[in-house]
Amino acid sequence: MFDAGLIGDIYEAAAVPERWLAVLQSLAERMGAQGSNLIRIGPQGMAITSTDGVRAMTEAFMEQGFNAHNTRVGRLMERGAHPGFLTDSDLHTSQELATLPIYAQFLTPHRADAGAATLVQGAGDDGLILAVEGFSSHAASRTAARQLDSLRPHLARALALSAQLRMQRLSAAVGALELVSVAAAVIDPVGRIEAMNALFTQAMDHLLTQRAGALRALHPACDSQLRAAIMGLQAGSGNPGGASLPLRDAAGLARHALHLVPLRGAGHDAFDSAGAVIILASAGNPSVPGADLIRALFDLTPAEARVARAVAQGLSPTDIAQRHAASPATVRTQLKHVFAKTGVTRQSELAVLLASLRSPADADGAC
């Protein structure tokens, strides 16, 4: 029942992941369902791509916490060796379909209790679940599952190819940064490293580590800041421009700036769910942080960085103007820009902020 055009679309989506949403929505409608979910699941957690027909419902399902007790995914994973599609009624008894909270309180009221899903191998340790959602009845889902089984070999090959191409793109991205001497890595939304270049790997020895698969800083206070930034990334509550923080080495010296740059757009897409690029910038760091490090941390212009460092040394705007042969008005304007970029409102606050970057680490363990 599936024509060559649909099969061709599936393989096109393998090479052009942006096509998957349209292809899977079309497939669901052809089968009499509302839409499809494509789920990447692995050690780092779960990433979901939803087609238009089920996107709002899937978001509500996640927001209301039903995914925490999602027996559909768990039981499908348990039967991962099954070479075909399985339905909700294959994975649950009729009593469970009537009483389990995810069905009684959400799926059934949303007419989404009858679906058909299959599990295929992704890249590395990841698995990919294709779930066709919202059939009119459990009988209709079982009929559709038998039909979808004939299409599954094409879907499995195309999905696996997409997953492999995704990993190659991530590796290529950090590799390109290495060509310009930038230490970089890509992490997913929960902090798991998905790709990193050799320069980043070298820095891992004395600045960073992995715990339970997630990126962590060796210095405790720096680690707290890094975890907070990653948690903000995961919750979508962080600074949309990312975050920058100093990294201390084992001797307590802040010689590097870590920049976390969120990847926007399809942030939770099954094939583009990388959460952020991590870039490490190194610079000299005397007792008052150097202008290069200050500039790297707060995205300052060279002139703004010089003003900020001078304030940390205790100089007034007039003193700074004299040192750099500039007018006091120009220095005050630059200082306002520094305040805006660093989030402080007074020179004393700026001095305290920059003092936190001094080495060795303060007694209270500030990063």
pLDDT per residue, tens digit, the chain (367 aa), is 677 889 999 999 888 887 899 999 999 999 999 999 998 877 656 778 899 999 999 999 999 999 888 999 999 999 877 889 999 999 999 999 999 999 999 999 999 999 999 998 765 667 889 999 999 999 999 999 999 999 999 999 998 888 778 778 788 878 877 886 778 888 877 788 888 899 898 888 888 988 866 789 988 888 888 888 888 776 655 555 567 777 777 677 666 778 787 765 443 455 555 578 888 876 443 444 556 666 665 667 888 888 988 988 889 999 999 998 899 999 999 999 988 777 667 888 787 667 655 544 443 455 6
φ, ψ of residue 111 in degrees (nearest 5): 55, 40
CATH, range 181-282: 3.30.450.20
Q: Class of 4-166 per CATH?
A: alpha beta
The answer to whether 80 touches 127, Cβ cutoff 8 Å, is: yes
- CA atoms within 13 Å, Cβ hemisphere of 1: 11
SS3 189: coil
pLDDT at 265: 46
Hey, where are the domains in the chain?
A: 4-166, 181-282, 288-367
Look at the chain and count its residues.
Answer: 367
* Domains 4-166 and 288-367 agree in fold: no
What is the 3-state composition of the chain as percent helix, strand, coil, each rounded to the nearest 5? 50, 20, 30
3-state SS, residue 121? strand
pLDDT score at 261: 73
Q: How far apart are the first and last CA of the chain?
A: 62
Secondary element (H or E) of residue 351: helix 347-355
d(CA 91, CA 96): 10
Write down the pLDDT at residue 363: 37
Structure tokens belonging to residue 270: 């099954």
Determine the topology of domain 288-367 in CATH.
Arc Repressor Mutant, subunit A (1.10.10)
Q: Which of 227, 203, 204 is nearest to 214 (CA)?
A: 227
> What whole-number distance in Å separates Cα of residue 145 and Cα of residue 80?
16
pLDDT score, position 267? 37
Q: How many CB atoms lie within 10 A of CB 307?
A: 30
Phi, psi of 295 (to 5 degrees): -60, -45
The first and second tokens of residue 71, run together, are 């027996």
Give the three-class secondary structure for 145: helix
